[in-house]
Amino acid sequence: MSYDDVECPRCKTTKYRNPRLKLMVNVCGHALCEGCIELMFATGVAKCYQCPTPLKRYNYKPQVFQDSQVEKVTNVAKEIQSKYKRSQDKFPTLRAYNDHLEKLETVIYNLANDLDPDETNILIEELRREATEQSNHVMLDFQRKQQKVKDAPYHHKIESYVTEGPSLPEISENYLRASRTCSAREIAGGYTAHIAITKALSEAFSGLFTRQSKIESY
């Protein structure tokens, strides 16, 4: 924006006369400078000076685009997509996904241009219902996985170590006495001293093996 373009539509203050001028835009897309906003909310409640939209102080955000309508479309699209847009893998077919995107675009266009509120409310309700159903499916799937864990607790499977060295000796009490005591947390996770001893012996015995190779000269 140039200095000539930046102007508060209410008090007509320009960036040229007040270099610190900052325009703020609300959900309705109508911008005001910070001074006018403070005056509007001096009594605690306010309405937009250009439309009947009820305003809230925290809804005002710094204006990024010169055209306030572009600002409004951008904010509406960001809000609607963050609430209702779903990824393609959540739909059974590409056609269903495209229908979902078309519904989103219709809602965004209608809200940004204040068109057909009845149709818009119906589409928003459909998007809200679809999002709720998906959220319920995710929650049910999570609960089923939790129940599966409770019904079938985790059991650690001891890995088999393949080495090219000598066969491992049987793990006796002498090995167990030489190893540290496992904590309750480790035991709950399936860890035992037998696992550590087996791994240590496998690494030690595999280093005892040497392979003879025949060197041929050409």
DSSP label at residue 14: B
- Check whether 206 has a pLDDT greater than 80: no
Contact 36, 23 (CB under 8 A): no
What string of H, E and C letters represents the secondary structure of 104-120? HHHHHHHHHHCCCHHHH
Q: Report pTM.
A: 0.46
Which string of DSSP letters, residue by residue, matches 42-105? GGS--B-SSS--B--GGG-EE--SSSHHHHHHHHHHHHHHHHH---GGGSSSHHHHHHHHHHHH
Contact 166, 208 (CB under 8 A): yes
- Check whether 3 has a pLDDT greater than 50: no
Domain borders along the chain are 1-66, 67-153, 154-208
Could you read off the pLDDT of 151-203 as tens digits, one per residue?
665 555 655 555 566 777 788 778 777 777 888 888 777 778 888 888 888 77
Topology (CATH level 3) of domain 1-66: Herpes Virus-1 (3.30.40)
Could you read off the pLDDT of 53-110 as tens digits, one per residue?
777 777 777 777 766 677 778 878 888 888 888 888 888 889 988 998 999 999 988 8
